[in-house]
Structures are given as C-alpha cells and as structure tokens.
Chains A and B, each alone.
Chain A
C-alpha cells in the first residue's frame, strides 16, 4: 500500500514523442485504471512506472521515495504481463517463489507465502505442473500469484485479461477486484476495454496521445465528460454527435429545431456558448422515444434495428444527422411489438443528459 507520484514525465522513442508532459498522483490503496485507444501511451506509462522504460524527463516517487532511474527489481513493484510471462521451464511453485528466492527470503517465509497464494487463487495441487500444462485461466492466476507472493507496494497490470475468453474475463474481473480489496493494495491497471475500466476502477485515467484527458471516478466520467474524446470513448454504444445551430431565448434552448430540456444550472453554463460550430452529444440510453409526435420531439426514420433481448438499438436518420437510440422493450409496451426499418419514431433527449461540444476544441461546454 503506497502512493505513487509522477511529475513532469516526458518520453520519446527517438524522434517520436509519446508522452509530452504528464503529472499523475496515484493514491494509496486505490485501483486506478489507465485506459485509452491503442497508441495513447498507457502501456508506456505503466512500463515507466515499473522501470522497464526510462524517461527523458520527470520523476517518479513511491511514498516519497524517488525511484526514477532505479532498476525495476528494486522498486518493490510487481507486474502482471499481458502474456503472463511465466517461466516455461519452471514449475508453478518455482514460478511463484522465484522472486523471493532471488531476494534470499527466509525459506519458511517463502513456503508460507506460497501456500497462501495457492489457496487464494485455487491453485492447490498444481504446484508441480509446468505452465505448458495449464489452461489459460490457470496461467493467468499463476501470473497474479507471482505478483501477490511478493507483497509489493504497488501492483501493475498490463492488460492481463485480454487473452481470456469473454466469459472468463467477466468472472476474473470480479476476482481481481476482490483480491485488490483483500490485500489493501495500490493497483495500476492498463486496458483498452472501457467496460473493464468502468467496472473495476476507483478512478479512471483516460489518455489520448500521451496526454491525460480526464481523471475521475467512473460515474463522473460517464456523466460529466470533459471533452468530445472522453464522451465518445466511454459508453457503449458510443454517444451520438449531432450537428446544428444552438438557439437560446428566454431561458429556453433548442438545437437545430430540437428543444433541449434545460435546468437553470445548465442555462447559465451555456449562455456564453457559441451558436454555430457546436455539436450536441446524446447517449443512446438518454433518448426518449414514442410513436406519437410532439412539439418537443423530432422525427426519426428507422434504418436498422438490433435486438439484444432486453433492449433494442435502433438507428435512424433525423434532420440533425444519424442517431442511435436504446429502447427498453419492457418499459414501453407500445414499442415492444417491434420496431422495424422504415418505421417512424419521435424522439427527444431526457432531462439534462445531453452535452454540448465546441466544434473546434472539442471541449465540453456543459461540463461541470
């Protein structure tokens, strides 16, 4: 359990600058997720923390202890690799205790920690097998065990769930988070999957091209994105972005003819917003649909329907552009009879769940 502070981190690979300048504070005991599209620098950042990559500028400190430039084995951190990196020529027990033996830990202690780990990860009975004889899920647990056994200050995870099949991924997600809580660990977790980020994190760090776009707990990032990038990355299916002109008059706002439900707080915030070159962002789940038209609704011509059982995702065209909405078929019996291509629906955004984005900078004008 320790905090990690990164200040002024700059990293280039030759002429290619991957991280221009980054500051980050990881709080002791938290489960922090680094997420972003490929190439955003999340893995590089993790490896910098681990010491597997050097930095061109900046410092890394753990509990006030400056570890910049220190050998990865001396930072008291453990890493779980995407491919698990288990030593193929060693047994499970040898894999798990390797690091402890390297540090010449007392034999009794080694055995104690080995037993604990085997129990915690349900790997009892597998101690003498080699990695090649294990299933993917078992190998993943050995990789985790290797880190747990070291009782490090910080746990680092480099997309450890990517190689598991979907079902296993879901259950392992829970197990991993439980382990973190039980061990009172500080964990830094890298993933490209925003669902993993949302379900596991205490705080999410969203990166794009080496820059931090937003650091916030999952709920906050979801409800209150800072910019277009964050808004579109988080949430599945993706947020809709519509083009049009903002009109405001007498405390009422509309966007390209679509009236926007407006609270006072919101009204104040967007009062100074530009009227053109703005985008309206609405999540599919924040759209209310009906078969009857209304003043506060616009027309949606249905083009495609995707059933998922409980919901249906309906995509169609409007005067403001293409729109995908989520219909809860049980809530609205009116629509549960089935929506088909060619149908017409009438839609409007739900209260205060829409966002405005500056067309050039991408900043969220309704943020806050």
Chain B
C-alpha cells in the first residue's frame, strides 16, 4: 500500500471514528458512500474538513467531491494531484 493511501485510510478511520477498523480492511476500489463504507452526507463534510486539515487540499464543490469520493484509490489520486499545485 502506498504511503499516501495508508495515510488517507488512517485519516478516514480517525475522522469518522470507525472504531475497530484497520486500514487494510478498507478496499482501495470500494465506494466510500452507498454500498461501500456506507458513509452519509455528514461523513462527507467530515472528510472534506479532514482532507483540508491533514493534506491541505480543498474540495471546493460537489462536483469535485463526486470525483474524489468514488473510492479510496480515487481520493488518494485526487489528493496527490492537488497537493502538488
């Protein structure tokens, strides 16, 4: 697992208080919302705040969120891409 992906998973677990869950239990390709981790809109806001705090990356609107929250893999790529700028 890439270092950034591991940090993303750790941030998700910590920010959403997914107690008892470990990073390797979160599948890279599983959707964060709906069928995957089953997160809701409040979780989405928590993730937006966590991503900004931990990685300094802003998710400006719902369109960006739709792309970033497809999966952990997509979120990791989104952060890697926008953290460079």
Q: Real complex partners, A and B?
A: no
Q: Which residues of A contact B (CB under 8 A)?
A: none
